[in-house]
Amino acid sequence: MEGAKTAKNGRSPNLTMENRGERAFLAAVDADHDDALWNVDDSLAELASLARTAGAEVVGTLSQRLRKPDPVTYLGKGRANELAQLHDELDYDLLILDDELAPSQQRNLEEVVGARVIDRTALILDIFAQHAHTREGQLQVELAQLEYRLPRLTGRGRAMSRVGGGSRGSGGGGVGGAIGVRGPGETKLEIDRRRIRSRIAELKRELESVRQVRGQQRRQRGAQAIPVVAVVGYTNAGKSTLFNKLTAAGVLVEDKLFATLDPTTRHITLPTHGEVLLTDTVGFIQKLPTSLIAAFRATLEEVIEADILLEVVDVTHENAIEQSQTVSDVLEELGAADKPRVTALNKIDLLADPSVVDTSLYPNAVPVSALTGAGLNALLVRLGQVMAERMVRARVLLPYDRGDLVETFHRRGHVEEERQEPEGTLLVGALPQPLLATFGPFRLDVRRTSRRRTPHATVEGQAHAGELAASE
Ligand code: GDP
Ligand code: MG
């Protein structure tokens, strides 16, 4: 098939860093608006670390204060010329801009500077492509890459951009020379576009079926009523390290940005409140384009559907606050900002004096080191406490043929008292809210009160009134 040529092992060739060790120059516009969370130097430092993660060598950086980016060349004319001169002096291969450029800006800047120009988005996509290990991750990256590439297709190949007129050339034009190249070139562009569009449609279909499978798995988990804790955080905060430490699952850890693209889910048992599912997720980063968030929807749905968020913050990073705020902004965008949150203030082993960590800046914050294990018990206890707020006190009498429910109560709930009675096992303690329906018919506390309650008293009362009616 034709389409197979653009995809090796189901993924597109990288957009940017075909060769390792390219020399990159970085540039940013300091757009100078008051509500900017990140200052330009910190953002450039992060861009440098992204560039190195992608395998480039950073040979210099430059920023320009502008009220807003130049619509034609992104940077102002003077700065663009300066970059052209620097290109002669430093012989860099690649200019990376710290924001998403319009396709025309990218093209124009390439003309002026005389070097290849890419933007932050392309760089992030490149790193994503290098780190997508599962089929799903690869599909998501390829979709994001193709959607990024489609509007930029015209810009590839200077000869083509000078061609005016109709888009359909004669398929059988001559060979060498502008005229001969023009027709077939234009046709090729059309073919490329069409091929990309149909691949995008195919990828969307495949991802939709991935989403459906995930949805099914979540519903099964829902039926088992195991609470889901999603590990979220800025890229490189230590999510996978923490996840590994807590689950001993052996998830890939790398000192690189975006080492994790595919969520991994494992059971863990909290010291106080039974079993939860812990799920590792992709890291967030500032200026993550919305189109990319959309491509990663299947992965991010794990976050959207989670009961509790465990945010990992690299508290030793000088931009810890900005990073955490960025995470909150993305969560907001996903509609997951108001979920209960526990914060692991990570990497305290790097601090001379861990007691200086200010836990008041983050919700339910616990200083930890995922590396050494320090503070992890306290973290799980705190997680249990937050979980407990979702727990409901229950007193049940389980018939002797329902040993399965006795076990479930122990595993998912919190048992305070257990007694063998003539009719069955009496358990007193707390159960997670979603399990109440299962235990409803055996509850001693609710059976008594729900008869007296008006049907609309509480949601809980309502559920049990329904449950009792159904079982009687
Ligand atoms: P993720 O991107 O959030 O999943 O981050 P990773 O778990 O891949 O970790 C990123 C880097 O931080 C790796 O080099 C880890 O070894 C390092 N790291 C993670 N946790 C700690 C910690 O508690 N202390 C120290 N010193 N390094 C850590
Ligand atoms: Mg990770």
For 423-468, how does the pLDDT look when each residue is reduced to its tens digit (9 = 90+)?
999 999 988 777 888 899 999 987 554 444 444 434 443 333 323 3
- Which amino acid does the sequence have at 41? D
- Res 222: pLDDT: 61
pLDDT at 34: 63
DSSP, residue by residue, 12-48? PPPSS-SSTT-EEEEEEEE---TT-SS-HHHHHHHHH
Ligand 2 geometric centre to CA of 432 (Å)? 29
Task: Write the Ramachandran bin of 40: left for phi over 0, alpha for psi from -120 to 50, otherwise beta.
Answer: alpha
pLDDT at 455: 43
Q: What angle do CA 176, 181, 187 make, to 5 degrees?
A: 150
Taking the whole predicted model, whether its pTM rises above 0.85 is answered as no
| CA 132 to centroid of ligand 2, rounded, Å | 11
Indicate the pairing of strand 57-65 with strand 94-97: unpaired
Please give the average pLDDT of every successive group of 10 residues along the chain, which has 472 residues: 35 45 92 77 93 93 92 94 95 94 94 94 88 80 90 58 38 40 64 92 92 78 73 92 82 59 73 78 78 74 86 96 93 87 97 92 96 94 86 92 90 86 94 84 73 42 33 30
Q: Residue 121 corresponds to which amino acid?
A: T
- Phi then psi for residue 14, to 5 deg, are -60, 145
d(CA 94, CA 25): 6
Task: Please tell me the distance between residue 417's alpha carbon and the centre of ligand 2 in angstroms.
Answer: 40
Alpha carbon separation from 162 to 113, 158, 159, 170, 295 (Å, rounded): 19, 7, 6, 17, 33
**What are the pocket residues of ligand 1 if the criterion is a CB atom closer than 6 Å to any ligand atom?**
233, 235-241, 253-255, 259-260, 283, 312, 346-347, 349-350, 369-371
The closest residue, in CA terms, to atom 6 on ligand 1 is 238
Phi, psi of 97 (to 5 degrees): -95, 140
> Which residue segments constitute the domains of the chain, with CATH numbers given?
4-126 (3.40.50.11060), 226-388 (3.40.50.300), 391-471 (3.30.70)
What's the rounded Cα separation, in Å, for the pair 134 and 49?
24
Q: Tell me the C-alpha distance between 414 and 397, whole Å.
A: 15
Q: Which residue in the block uniquely carries the two structure tokens 């993924």?
A: 11
**Nearest atom in ligand 1 to 253's CA:** 8
Which residues are in the CB-under-5-Å shell of ion ligand 2? 239-240, 259-260
Q: What is the DSSP letter of 393?
A: E
Query: Which of 46, 128, 241, 310 maximizes ligand 1 atoms within 8 Å of its Cβ, making it the mutation to test the pocket?
Result: 241
Helix (H, G, I), strand (E, B) or coil at 456: coil
Amino acid sitting at position 2: E
Q: DSSP class of residue 366?
A: E
